[in-house]
Amino acid sequence: MPQRLLQHLRHFITALGLLIVCLIGAELWLRARGPMPVPVVATQADLFDQRQLIPSATQHHQMRPLAEIRGDTVSFQTNSLGLRGPEPEIPAPAGMLRVLLLGDDAVVGSWLQAKHTLSQQLQNRLTEYLRRSVEVINGGVPGYSPILSVLHYEHVLHTLEPDIVILHFDMSDVADEVVHRSRLRQVGSRNVCIHPVLAQPAGASNGLISILRQSAVVHGLLDGLEIRTDMPQQSQRYNWTHSDSNNVTAQVKHAMDSVDLLKALATKHGSSLIVTTTPVAWQVLSPAKHPEFSRQFGVTGDQAVASDVPFRILNAWGRSREVPVCLVVDVFRDQNLIKTPEQLFRNDSARLSKYGTALHARELALKIRETSGLVAGRSRRRLQ
């Protein structure tokens, strides 16, 4: 009997050794075959944007500071705050109107040359309309939702002392907010959202976890199984744009609660707040115009989605809080102005095209110019 057990043990050790050799071989082959898998820092960001991100102990994640981000067609640098664009002067030069633009990848504009980003287009328009020195800082971070923008402003970006804070409320923010709010914690008197990687206790097991996170074999298996543990299904990220709003009432409330927090913080620091949003393609076009993209997000039919629930909610919130809200959906749908609305959107994602971004910047600049008192903030007082 002992001899038979010993024989089984030898077979087991041999099999285990072969398995380990095979796994090492597969790992080496996968690494030699192509680039290393990109660590997933924020599941709401796409593959290119993942390369820009690092975990954060206060706002879940941020862009790498002082990094050069290289893409196939677009490259850009981040400053010491981890923002796309040049280093901002602190304090802002006297007489300059400083605008801080917050939001997700729609604000960052990783697919756009610097001159075509929302921040640069808005800066150009405001300089023209207001006839004064204007600086618009690109404070967007891929994968952000309102609560992360709030934390980013509270912990870091308020030091820029902007005269105007603009929050871009993306149509995916309601679903993304659920993910990030689940990690919200209070430390002292402040809220933080600690990235899970940084929240893990120190210990020997972390070494193994780190190895597994970086393994090409593990990434391949997870990709094959389409496992995304902390992210809503892609088809659910835009549910409130094409379904009964009663199904997402709690989620919408949480997202708007975060905007309330941002308003309170902006007021505390002497800044004015404005909220803006843009539609996704099926809110303007027939889903048939973007069939693959529309099917990916569970939208079908021959007509554009008629429900304007998201825009009505944001508009009502703005009126009740006395915060300007810039809605561009009516302009995007204006057939007298937009002869070919397809050009407003990219074909491969929920993003606006270069043309759509420019039109958004124009409408946002007009809203700022036409809103009484919005530009008479801190910088105006500096001149006195």
The tens digit of pLDDT for each residue in 186-238 reads: 888 889 999 998 876 544 445 544 544 555 444 454 444 333 444 445 667 88
Q: Which residues fall within 8 angstroms of residue 16, CB to CB, at 6 or more apart?
A: none
Q: How confident is the model at residue 240 (pLDDT cuts 50, 70, 90)?
A: confident
Give me the pLDDT at residue 19, please: 65
As a whole-number percent, the residues of the chain with pLDDT over 70 amount to 77
Name the 3-class secondary structure at 187: strand
| Residue, of 47 and 319, whose pLDDT is higher | 319
Give me the pLDDT at residue 97, please: 96
Give me the pLDDT at residue 288, please: 83
Is residue 304 exposed (0-12), middle (13-18) or buried (19+ Cβ within 10 Å)?
buried
Give me the pLDDT at residue 330, please: 94
Rounded-to-integer distance, Cα 210 and Cα 213, Å:
5
Rounded-to-integer distance, Cα 104 and Cα 58, Å:
17
Mean pLDDT of 328-337: 93
Rounded-to-integer distance, Cα 166 and Cα 99, Å:
7
Rounded-to-integer distance, Cα 361 and Cα 326, Å:
10
Q: For the chain, how many helices (H) and strands (E)?
A: 15, 11
In order of their start, the domains of the chain are: 48-210+235-382 (3.40.50.1110)
Mean pLDDT of 263-268: 97
Task: State how far Cα 67 lies from the chain centre.
Answer: 18
When the pLDDT of each residue in the chain is averaged and rounded to a whole number, the result is 83
Rounded-to-integer distance, Cα 106 and Cα 170, Å:
8
Q: Which residue, among 255, 325, 338, 224, has the nearest Cα to 289 in the 3D structure? A: 338
Rounded-to-integer distance, Cα 256 and Cα 252, Å:
6
What's the CA angle centered on 270, arms 268 and 274, to 5 degrees?
95
Give me the pLDDT at residue 212, please: 46
Is residue 217 exposed (0-12), middle (13-18) or buried (19+ Cβ within 10 Å)?
middle
Mean pLDDT of 281-288: 88
Give me the pLDDT at residue 230, please: 44
Question: Is the model's pLDDT at 326 over the cut of 90?
Answer: yes
Question: Is the model's pLDDT at 347 over the cut of 90?
Answer: no
Of 226-235, 248-257, 365-374, the one with minimum mean pLDDT is 226-235
Beta bridge partners of 69: 76
Give me the pLDDT at residue 231, please: 44
